[in-house]
Amino acid sequence: MAKVVLGVFDTKEQAEKAVQELRNRGFHKEISVLARDEKREGLEMETDSDSVMEGVTTGGVLGGLAGLVAGAGALAIPGIGPLIAAGPIAGLLSGAAAGGIAGGLIDWGIPEEEGRHYEEEVRKGKILVAVQSSGPRVDEAAQVLRQFGAHDVKTH
Q: Is 103 helix (H, G, I), strand (E, B) or coil?
A: helix
DSSP state of 128: E
Convert the pLDDT of each residue in 12-27 to its tens digit: 999 999 999 999 999 9
Mean of pLDDT values over 131-138: 92
Convert the pLDDT of each residue in 67-97 to its tens digit: 555 556 677 777 777 888 888 888 778 665 5
Domain, as residue range, for 135: 3-155
Strands (DSSP E) along 60-150, which ranges?
73-77, 81-86, 127-133
The CA-based angle 107-38-100, given to 5 degrees, is 20
